[in-house]
Amino acid sequence: MTTHDILNYLPYSPPFLFVDGLDYIDCDKVVGHFTYHADMDFYKGHFKGFPVTPGVVLTETMAQIGLVCLGIYLKGVVPEGSGMAFGLTSTEIEFMHPVFPGEKVTVTSEKQFFRFGKLKCKVSMRNAAGREVCAGMIAGMVMAKPLQSE
């Protein structure tokens, strides 16, 4: 499975897609990136005059890259007409530095375990300067959706 395939299987689309690309993936680790464009809607109301990326959006970015992309890779190719379903089960994230509009971040996720459809990962997000802006643990369920009947 290629990184292009993984991105095509993502169950998100703009404006809720927070993955621009994957830089590396194997059975134990994924590295991907995203740029928070200044015109994203949530910046309009998150701190007037001093927009900062909300922590929930940073967490979602880490989940999409670090949990969903890795989960798709681990599950492999799914049958035509079906897809992947994901459910976030827990997060424990610490926020160290703000992420501003226009910043590119890189997420690194290392698998802690994957059994019975549950994936738990240690995640870290760094800005373009290499500074860790948030990190922690994230877990979720990865399942194949049933085949869709016509």
Pick the catalytic residue: 4, 33, 37, 46?
46
Distance, in Å, from the CA atom of 139 to the CA atom of 44, rounded to the nearest integer, reads 30
CATH-assigned architecture of domain 3-145: Roll (3.10)
* pLDDT band at 47; cut points 50, 70, 90: confident
Establish whether 46 is a catalytic residue. Answer: yes
Q: What tokens appear for 32 in the block? A: 């991907």
57-66 residue pLDDT tens? 999 999 999 9
Give me the residue spans of the domains in the chain: 3-145
pLDDT tens-digit map of 111-138: 999 998 899 999 999 999 999 999 999 9
